[in-house]
Structure 1
Amino acid sequence: MGATTSPESSILDDLDTRIARAIQLSPRASFREIADVLGVAEQTIARRYRRLRRDGLLRVTMATDPRALGNSTWVVRVRCRPEGADGIAGALAARDDVSWVSIYEAGWEIVFNLRAADPHGGMELLTRTLPKAAPVLDVRPAAVLHTFVGGAPTDWEGWHDALTQTEADALAKTRIPSGPDGGRPSSTSIDRTDRAIIDVLTRDGRTSYTDLARAVGSTPGKVTRRVEHLVWSGIAYFDVDLATAALGRDAIAIWLTVHPRHLAATGEALAAHPAVPFAVAVTGAANMTASVMVHDTDELYSFVTDVLGPLDGITSYELLPLLSRVKNAGSLVSGDRLAPPRVSASQISPSQSSPKRRSASSRSAL
């Protein structure tokens, strides 16, 4: 396995890939800064980036670290009848506390994550709402104990060789700095202005500070300091969402049962692999789950034999082939592209949402 500058099956050319990698390394780097590093005209960088975003291939978003806000995080497996998978997955994707949803095994299994800010709301979904849905056969929630990789724009390193080390180092200097220990958060709270800033940047993480200030009723200087503090403190981070069409790879979910003595070493080995963007230790019979990005089944076989095979302590594993993504890093997915971001509930005025509509939607949503 190994990345190339222009991945097979991807519709990105070499320059698109270099720009996307630059955005991964520094999500809010200005077009001028990227142009200076890549040696390309600023107008070309701006035009290419806007096309990538408009075509649903790449999106920069802001996300919050659930630990910082005292939220619990779950990875949930839902076994269901295939004919009901689309409806269940769509209802889950409509929830603000669910940031990614995928359908696996020809529709027999849905896997999603749940960030439960309200423990009661999360338990209601897992113990009552989902089990009562007609297509659902069983629900297996697993609490996330430790994240080995996941929660950074460079989680997927398949394009690590798209830029030279000198270029990568130059872009790293333009990033908003994080605090000690990589900005590892302590439980804290955020105010209404912080939430408004996060809300805007969740839809477009590259919104200019001038536009951001206008949106939240502040000044560019103040919102700049607020954003820098959110990142430095570890409360929030910028993520880069990449569509399947841009990656040219498919995601395979892996559930592992690992002897406790080898759990940390296994997680760290997976996190170090460029094809693995997500790996966490969880509760349950399978105590680790990860995803691996591969071109085809031959590459998946090589991953199983050459990467998983030599690792000590793995007593069993399960591979789930992806059927479709429904939501990814907070972005709804349409086919192999990212759908346009939707306006969050907090951005809709009462006059824009009638009680009758709210009642109808609440009956159909999970």
Structure 2
Amino acid sequence: MSAPSASGSVVLDPVDEQIVHALQIAPRVGFARLGEVLEIGETTAARRYRRLRRSGLVRVTLAVDPAALGLTVWHARIRCRPEGAEVVAEALSRRDDVSWVAVDASGWEVTCSVRSTAGDEAQRLITRQLPKSQSVLDVEVAALLHTFVGGSATDWAAWSTPLSAAQQEALAPDTPPVASAGDVATTVRPEDRAVLDALARDGRTPYAALARLTDSTPGRVRRRVEALLAAGITYFDVDVATAASGIRTVVALWLSVTPGSLARVGTALADHPHVPFAAAVTGRHNLTASLATRGFGDVYDTITTTLADLDGIVGYEVVPVGRRIKFADARVVGDRLAPPEPVRAQRARR
């Protein structure tokens, strides 16, 4: 891994990029297998990964899909007095039911994703707590209806593919065996919480360590985690810090699309290399997406080519993101991922 640049960012060398891309394909791949595929050796693979993680450049986590549990995800746009936006954003970022917190480039608007939880805590936050804040001028909320992209580690790569097709095929996880009746997952059980909490901090925690944590066996823990993954209740995610990805310009797109074109437009955005997240939502705009690029020139090109070529878009809004305070469930310090906070409760991700 190269030294930091003048701007404080880190430019990953080709091997580091290969390791991160490999993790996106197989988040729990063993270091022996990783070294074999990349032809760098097990010790080198382990050392480089640990350095990337320790430096706040990459993190593998396990997330729970709220939709799989019948919960609602809300996207809130909170317009604030300029002097209060940072305070509101920081307070929101410390909540376990809030993911992805950002302040727009003007310093007026805070955007966040809020997950409904037992006891309607999210509803109280949106309808009572935020509107009463002296710093808040207005709250606009949209419910997530359908996610086109943004629900797994393989949805998006931060750079051009550094792995060959043969390497990607070699890393592709094997199809797990058909689960027995006792292993079929339909929801998260109380006894799953300790395992999910540990994997939310580090998705590569060995099954042996998880077994000791829960007084179980590695085989039993592995089967349970695989059952939750197979049922779509959980998924592995790989967070890549902007210091490593080189992504410097992020904008939020809010589109108004005719009903007959919604699925087609959402799918087209999901296929775009600069779009890590796109979803259909309620509200005055019915589709939202994130556009992550290396500059506003790419944003302009996307608007004048990709969006211009899609029939059914009747209006759009482009909101530049100024500062990201929480990236998925990882708090951000500068352009690095902050160390995981102590486990308090299981966190589900959008």
What is the RMSD computed on CA atoms of the aligned residues?
A: 2.0
> What is aligned with 1:362?
none
Question: How has the CA–CA distance of structure 1 residues 176 and 137 changed in structure 2, closer, same or farther, with 3 Å as cutoff?
Answer: farther
Code of the residue aligned with 2:28 in structure 1: it is R
Question: How has the CA–CA distance of structure 1 residues 277 and 175 changed in structure 2, closer, same or farther, with 3 Å as cutoff?
Answer: farther
Code of the residue aligned with 1:272 in structure 2: it is D
> What is aligned with 1:164?
164
> What is aligned with 1:27?
27
- 2:47 paired with 1:81: no
Give the conservation status (yes or no) of the 8 Å contact 1:267–1:279: yes
Question: How has the CA–CA distance of structure 1 residues 345 and 105 changed in structure 2, closer, same or farther, with 3 Å as cutoff?
Answer: same
Which SS does the other structure have where 2:161 is aligned? coil
Q: Deviations over 1:100-128 (max 9, x none)?
A: 11111321111111110236212111111
Give the conservation status (yes or no) of the 8 Å contact 2:185–2:227: no
Q: Deviations over 1:168-206 (max 9, x none)?
A: 111113576899xxxxxx994322221111110000000
Code of the residue aligned with 1:35 in structure 2: it is G
Q: Deviations over 1:77-104 (max 9, x none)?
A: 1011121111111111111111211111
Question: How has the CA–CA distance of structure 1 residues 33 and 177 changed in structure 2, closer, same or farther, with 3 Å as cutoff?
Answer: farther
Distance 1:243 1:85 in 2: 23
Code of the residue aligned with 1:30 in structure 2: it is G
Question: How has the CA–CA distance of structure 1 residues 10 and 309 changed in structure 2, closer, same or farther, with 3 Å as cutoff?
Answer: farther
Q: Deviations over 1:211-235 (max 9, x none)?
A: 1111222221111111111111111
Give the conservation status (yes or no) of the 8 Å contact 2:105–2:323: no
> What is aligned with 1:71?
71
> What is aligned with 2:4?
none
Question: How has the CA–CA distance of structure 1 residues 74 and 346 changed in structure 2, closer, same or farther, with 3 Å as cutoff?
Answer: closer
Shift of 1:279: 0.1
Distance 2:96 2:151 in 1: 17
1:231 aligned residue (229, 232, 240)? 229
> What is aligned with 1:324?
323
> What is aligned with 2:11?
11
> What is aligned with 1:261?
260
Code of the residue aligned with 1:148 in structure 2: it is F
Distance 2:262 2:36 in 1: 43
> What is aligned with 1:248?
246
> What is aligned with 2:153?
153
Code of the residue aligned with 1:228 in structure 2: it is E
Q: After the TM superposition, which parts of structure 1 deviate over 4 Å for at least 4 consecutive aligned residues?
A: 174-179
Distance 1:257 1:287 in 2: 5
Distance 2:285 2:328 in 1: 23
Question: How has the CA–CA distance of structure 1 residues 225 and 115 changed in structure 2, closer, same or farther, with 3 Å as cutoff?
Answer: same
Code of the residue aligned with 1:326 in structure 2: it is I
Q: How does 1:204-353 map to 2 (within 5 A)?
A: 204-249=202-247, 250-346=249-345
> What is aligned with 1:125?
125
> What is aligned with 2:39?
39
> What is aligned with 2:49?
49
Shift of 1:247: 1.1
Q: Deviations over 1:217-266 (max 9, x none)?
A: 22211111111111111110110011111110132111111111111100
Distance 2:123 2:178 in 1: 33
Distance 1:251 1:295 in 2: 8
Give the conservation status (yes or no) of the 8 Å contact 2:21–2:161: no
1:203 aligned residue (201, 204, 216)? 201
Give the conservation status (yes or no) of the 8 Å contact 2:278–2:290: yes
- Which runs of 5 or more residues in structure 1 are unaligned? 1-7, 180-185, 348-366
Code of the residue aligned with 1:238 in structure 2: it is F
Which is worse superposed, 196-205 or 82-91? 82-91
Distance 2:187 2:17 in 1: 37
Code of the residue aligned with 1:105 in structure 2: it is A
Which SS does the other structure have where 1:154 is aligned? helix
- Which runs of 5 or more residues in structure 2 are unaligned? 1-6
